[in-house]
């Protein structure tokens, strides 16, 4: 076991990997939604995952975050010390506490709760107060709670929502809800952030702000970001690397320039549905 | 204007035809003749006609987003201010709470034995409704067999007393604990269920518990129940029936206050936030690092323990219990309190529980129509105020803005 850990630990030279997916497949009955997919994300990288509708991008997120169990393949996440950990078979909340956070394509906020409370929920896996603490409200619990509130508020400032902190989440505009989802995901203190179509439904101005936010998160928090997006302008300007999927398989990957000039990509994706 | 009237006429004709066999024909069994009571039918028709118009008017107001009752301008605002006056600031809130507490404290000393008994029952239901509110209102787990936990508490005390001579004070925590164990026993198998499926399983659970109590005659005495359950001892000595009732009243009052304090704290805590998140979106909960299994089990455990306590007190109060006190009707009643009060609202649930227990007692004249009125109230509430009596109870947070020092 010790040997294995030593073997799996990365050397400091070269880019440090964060997420490694090997041969991932997922079947839904007869449908193969993911087919033998290999993906690697390095520390501090912004990577885009693109592909036509139904290509299996969201399914990939769901497998990586433990919501679906993969049919085949392995998913590894490196922890802060560079130790490789297998995610297969782990419950979603464990995976989140290991440093993986996500947003949802069809926004899944807690609509009846306030904006601040939504972010506070994200702190759940980093805090400890239990029932006893809730009943006695001892000093430790109160300190932890105030800390949760302050950090959550600070995150709201990061995504420019602080002025709306006491509003019900369901009353926010579409763009604001997407940013709130990002803040909530950040509250779990991730190393790897998965964004599922964060710019969907945003106007051009909001999209630009989002781009700046993603860049800021990468540089300031050293986050690795994997993003599914249909807005090609954003994908091309943001990403260090791009993976292209079609019918569950990876059909191309590389830098934006490489992908842009790849004939298979042009045929499969950019050519036919340049804006769906 | 024509449509509502013609609709009302249709409704009244339809009602007259429908109720004719029941209301319009009377068989005189002595003289063996049939009496036709057209006057009653006509009266019914007229009543339905006007009711239908009223109903229509309510709906049209609802459709246009207007409140049902529009007070003349000024009066509404004044009334609102009057109602919120006792809650305006922390001082007036303290004053009104003290007054309320004093009234509750003095009540058993000035009122009759009968009224004290009713009040005990009402307070017990407040406790039950608050307990169920944790599972249903806060955590969104539709539990239909809640009365089973109440039965567990009551029978725990009755049986432990009968077979081992344990007293009330020893049994109070035991009853709560047993109810929690039953809550967990129910919680484990239903971890993967939600919504309708959960409702059906919990409904079945309630029935299983009741049927077991009914049929395990050697242990529980079956439908004959268990008699001569002693009241709580007061510093070691048993009290007379009258004193006992007053003592139990104070006990329940204390228990209710304790319940309110505990549940308020719980709701506003980290655990409470997770419970509320569970109500809204399970997948998002998981993805945010919340252990679903753990939170669901907490919801069941925290919810059932109050029913356990209430059950022990109920057994001590009534000195006799049998399975008839723990039917599905009780579960439905408690659930109605939670729904009427407003899911998750503590104040609303307390008010609804008091209304639903006290109103039928003080409106004995209408006791024949009790279920009819109850049903009508539920339907009207669900259409015109589905969110319940009290909504928007929201916790206040203090923000220490940490400018510049982020995450
Ligand atoms: N739970 C499920 N059960 C059955 N089939 C599913 C399920 N989830 C996804 N699929 C199927 O898997 C395929 C991939 O779906 P997925 O949602 O991953 O696509 P996507 O790339 O995210 O598309 P979009 O750009 O529209 O979001 C689709 O054919 C979809 O119908
Ligand atoms: Mg998708």
pLDDT tens track for B57-103? 888 877 777 776 666 666 667 777 777 766 667 787 888 888 889 99
CA angle B290, B296, B299 (to 5 degrees): 115
Atom of ligand 1 nearest to the CA of A62: 18
Closest CA to B307 of B176, B187, B209: B176
pTM over 0.90: no
Q: Tell me, what's the pLDDT at A273?
A: 47
Closest CB to B407 among A93, A144, A154: A154
3-state secondary structure of A28: strand
- Cross-strand bridge partners of residue A226: A47, A194
Continuous segment of H or E residues that includes residue A227:
strand A224-228
Instruction: Tell how far CA A276 is from the center of its chain.
Output: 23
Rounded to the nearest angstrom, the distance between the alpha carbon of B2 and the centre of ligand 1 is 52
How close is the nearest chain B Cα to the Cα of A157, in Å? 8
Q: How far apart, in whole angstroms, are the C-alpha atoms of residue B294 and residue B191? A: 9
The whole-number pLDDT of residue A3 equals 45
Q: Is A51 helix (H, G, I), strand (E, B) or coil?
A: coil
Between A125-129, A234-238, B28-32, the lowest mean confidence (pLDDT) is in B28-32
Average pLDDT on A97-101 reads 95
Does the CB of B292 have a partner CB in chain A at under 8 Å?
A: yes
Q: What stretches in chain B show pLDDT beneath 50?
A: 403-407
Burial of A68-107, coded b for 16+ CB within 10 Å and e otherwise, reads bebeebebbbbeeeeebeebeebebbbbbbbbbbbbbeeb
pLDDT for position B382: 81
Task: Answer whether B266 sits within 8 Å of A131, measured CB to CB.
Answer: yes
Compare CB distances from A134 to B269, B399, B406 and report the shortest one's residue. Answer: B269
**DSSP secondary structure string, B178-226?**
HHHHHHHHHHTTTTT--HHHHHHHHHHHHHHHHHHHHH-HHHH-GGG-B
What residue ranges line ligand 1, CB within 6 angstroms? A 28, 31, 33, 51, 53-59, 105
> CA of B278, closest CA in chain A: separation in Å?
9
Residues 6+ apart with CB under 8 A from B244: B231, B232, B238
- Cα B18 to Cα B26: distance, rounded to the nearest angstrom: 15
Helical segments of B342-400, H only: 346-362, 370-384
Q: How far is the CA of A105 from the centre of ligand 2 (A)?
A: 6
Summarised one tens digit per residue, pLDDT across range A163-214 is 999 999 999 999 999 999 999 999 999 999 999 999 988 899 999 999 999 9
Q: Which residues of B touch A143 (CB under 8 A)?
A: none
Is the per-residue pLDDT at A125 higher than 80?
Answer: yes
Burial class (CB in 10 A: 0-12, 13-18, 19+), B246: middle
Where do the domains of chain A lie, and which CATH numbers do they carry? 16-99+190-276 (3.40.50.300), 112-187 (no CATH)
- Measure the CA angle with vertex B258, ends A116 and B135; round to 5°: 55
Range from A129-138, A242-251, B225-234 carrying the lowest mean pLDDT: B225-234
Tell me if residue B90 falls in helix, strand or coil: helix
Facing residue for A124 by CB, picked from B279, B289, B407: B289
The answer to whether the Cβ–Cβ distance between A134 and B266 falls below 8 Å is yes
C-beta separation of A223 from A240 below 8 A:
no
Put simply, the answer to whether A146 touches B400 (Cβ < 8 Å) is yes
Disruptive mutation site among B267, B272, B288 for chain A (greatest number of A CBs within 10 Å) = B288
On average, the pLDDT of chain A sits at 89
pLDDT at A46: 95
Are B400 and A150 inside 8 Å of each other by CB?
Answer: yes
Every domain of chain B and the residues it spans: 2-63, 74-384
Structure tokens at B22: 């029941």
Q: Which of A33, A243, A247, A249 to mutate to test the pocket of ligand 1 (most atoms within 8 A of CB)?
A: A33
How big is the A-B interface in CB pairs under 8 Å? 131
Q: With an 8 Å Cβ cutoff, are A155 and B406 in contact?
A: yes
pLDDT on residue A274 = 44
Q: Which residues of B touch A101 (CB under 8 A)?
A: 287
**By CA distance, what is B277's nearest residue in A?**
A110
Q: A164 alpha carbon to ligand 1 midpoint, in Å?
A: 34
Residue nearest to atom 16 of ligand 1 (CA): A56
Burial tier of A13 (Cβ tally within 10 Å: 0-12, 13-18, 19+): exposed
B287 touches chain A (CB under 8 A): yes
**What are the chain B neighbours of A158 within 8 Å (beta carbons)?**
406-407
Choosing among A101, A114, A120, A134, which should be mutated to test the B contact, i.e. which has the most B CBs within 10 A?
A: A134
CA dist B312 and B168 (Å) reads: 8
User: For strand A17-28 and strand A31-42, is the pairing parallel, antiparallel, or unpaired?
Assistant: antiparallel
Q: Which of A117, A228, A230 is CA-nearest to residue A183? A: A117
| Residue linked to tokens 């409370």 | A117
* pLDDT for position B2: 66
CATH of the domain spanning B74-384, picked from 2.20.25, 2.40.30, 1.10.10, 1.10.3470: 1.10.3470
B269 CB within 8 Å of a chain A CB: yes
CA distance B149 to B160: 16
Of A96, A111, A153, the CB nearest to B280: A111
Q: Taking each helix axis as running N to C, give the angle between helix B90-110 and helix B113-132, from 0 to 180 degrees, rounded to the nearest 10.
A: 140
DSSP string, B14-49: HHHHHHIIIIIEEEETTTTEEEE-HHHHHHHHHHHH
Listed in sequence order, the residues at least 6 apart from B71 whose beta carbon sits closer than 8 Å to its beta carbon are B79
**Closest CB from B280, B283, B399 relative to A112:** B280
pLDDT at A272 over 70: no
CB B210 within 8 A of CB B326: yes
For the packed helices B147-164 and B168-187, what is the interaxial angle rounded to 10 degrees?
140
C-beta separation of B285 from B292 below 8 A: yes
Closest CB to A184 among B265, B271, B288: B288
Any idea which ligand is nearest the CA of A249? Answer: 1
Residue whose Cα lies nearest atom 14 of ligand 1: it is A56
Do B247 and B316 touch, CB atoms closer than 8 A?
no
Please give the Cα distance from A95 to A89 (Å, whole number).
Answer: 10
Percentage of residues in chain A with pLDDT exceeding 90? 75
pLDDT at B363 (0 to 100): 77
What letter does residue B369 receive in the DSSP assignment? G
Confidence of residue A2 (pLDDT cuts 50, 70, 90): very low
For ligand 1, atom 5, the nearest C-alpha belongs to A28
- B288 chain-A contacts, CB cut-off 8 A: 93, 96, 121-122, 124-125, 184-185, 187-188
The pair of structure tokens assigned to A8 is 């799996």
Substitution target from A112, A120, A136, A151 for chain B, most B beta carbons within 10 A: A112
CA angle (B153 as vertex; B150, B159 as ends), nearest 5: 130
Q: Which residues of A touch B401 (CB under 8 A)?
A: 150, 153
Cα nearest neighbour of B264 on chain A: A135
Residue with tokens 């006007």: B50
State residue A262's pLDDT score: 85
Task: Give the model's pLDDT for residue A223.
Answer: 93
């Amino acid at each position: 076991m010790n040997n294995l850990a030593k073997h799996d630990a990365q050397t400091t030279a070269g880019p440090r990997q964060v997420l490694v997916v090997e041969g991932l497949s997922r079947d839904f009955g007869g449908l193969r939604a993911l087919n033998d997919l290999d993906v690697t994300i390095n520390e501090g990288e912004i990577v885009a995952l693109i592909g036509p509708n139904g290509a299996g991008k969201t399914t990939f997120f769901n497998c990586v975050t433990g919501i679906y169990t993969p049919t085949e393949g392995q998913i590894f996440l490196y922890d802060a010390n560079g130790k490789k950990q297998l995610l297969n078979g782990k419950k979603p909340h464990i995976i989140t506490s290991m440093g993986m956070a996500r947003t949802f394509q069809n926004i899944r906020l807690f609509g009846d709760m306030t904006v601040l409370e939504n972010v506070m929920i994200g702190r759940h896996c980093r805090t400890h107060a239990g029932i006893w603490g809730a009943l006695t409200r001892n000093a430790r619990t109160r300190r932890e709670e105030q800390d949760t509130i302050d950090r959550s508020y600070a995150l709201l400032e990061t995504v420019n929502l602080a002025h709306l902190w006491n509003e019900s989440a369901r009353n926010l505009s579409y763009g604001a809800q997407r940013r709130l989802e990002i803040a909530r995901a950040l509250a779990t203190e991730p190393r790897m952030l998965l964004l599922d179509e964060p710019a969907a439904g945003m106007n051009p101005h909001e999209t630009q702000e989002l781009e700046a936010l993603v860049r800021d998160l990468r540089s300031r928090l050293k986050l690795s970001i994997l993003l599914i997006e249909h807005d090609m302008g954003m994908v091309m300007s943001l990403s260090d690397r791009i993976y292209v999927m079609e019918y569950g398989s990876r059909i191309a990957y590389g830098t934006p320039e490489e992908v842009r000039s790849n004939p298979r990509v042009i045929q499969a994706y950019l050519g036919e549905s340049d804006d769906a | 204007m024509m449509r509502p009237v013609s609709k009302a006429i249709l409704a009244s004709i339809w009602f007259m035809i429908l109720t004719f066999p029941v209301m319009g024909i009377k068989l005189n069994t002595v003289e063996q003749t049939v009496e036709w009571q057209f006057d009653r039918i006509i009266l019914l028709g007229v009543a339905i006609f006007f009711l239908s118009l009223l109903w229509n008017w309510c709906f049209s107001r609802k459709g246009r987003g207007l409140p049902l009752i529009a007070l003349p301008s000024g009066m509404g605002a004044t009334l609102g201010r009057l109602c919120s006056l006792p809650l305006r600031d922390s001082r007036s809130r303290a004053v009104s709470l003290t007054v309320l507490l004093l009234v509750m404290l003095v009540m058993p000393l000035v009122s009759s034995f009968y009224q004290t008994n009713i009040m005990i029952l009402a307070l017990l239901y407040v406790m039950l409704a608050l307990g169920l509110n944790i599972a249903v209102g806060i955590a969104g787990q539709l539990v239909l067999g809640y009365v089973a936990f109440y039965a567990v508490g009551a029978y725990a005390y009755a049986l432990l007393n009968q077979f081992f001579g344990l007293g009330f004070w020893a049994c109070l925590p035991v009853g709560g604990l047993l109810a929690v164990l039953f809550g967990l026993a129910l919680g484990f198998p239903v971890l993967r269920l939600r919504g309708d499926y959960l409702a059906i399983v919990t409904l079945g659970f309630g029935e299983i518990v009741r049927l077991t109590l009914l049929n395990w005659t050697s242990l529980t005495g079956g439908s004959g129940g268990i008699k001569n359950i002693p009241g709580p001892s007061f510093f070691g000595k048993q009290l007379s029936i009258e004193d006992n009732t007053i003592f139990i009243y104070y006990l329940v009052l204390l228990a209710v206050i304790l319940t309110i304090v505990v549940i308020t704290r719980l709701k506003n805590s980290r655990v409470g936030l997770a419970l509320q998140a569970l109500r809204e979106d399970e997948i998002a909960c998981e993805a945010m690092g919340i252990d679903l299994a753990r939170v669901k089990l907490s919801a069941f455990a925290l919810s059932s323990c109050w029913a356990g306590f209430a059950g022990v007190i109920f057994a001590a109060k009534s000195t006799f219990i049998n399975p008839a006190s723990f039917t599905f009707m009780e579960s439905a009643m408690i659930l109605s309190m939670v729904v009427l009060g407003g899911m998750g609202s503590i104040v609303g649930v307390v008010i609804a529980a008091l209304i639903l227990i006290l109103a039928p007692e003080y409106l004995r004249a209408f006791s024949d129509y009790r279920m009819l009125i109850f049903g009508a109230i539920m339907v009207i509430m669900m259409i015109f105020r589905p969110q319940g009596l009290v909504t928007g109870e929201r916790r206040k947070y203090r923000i220490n803005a940490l400018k510049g020092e982020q995450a």
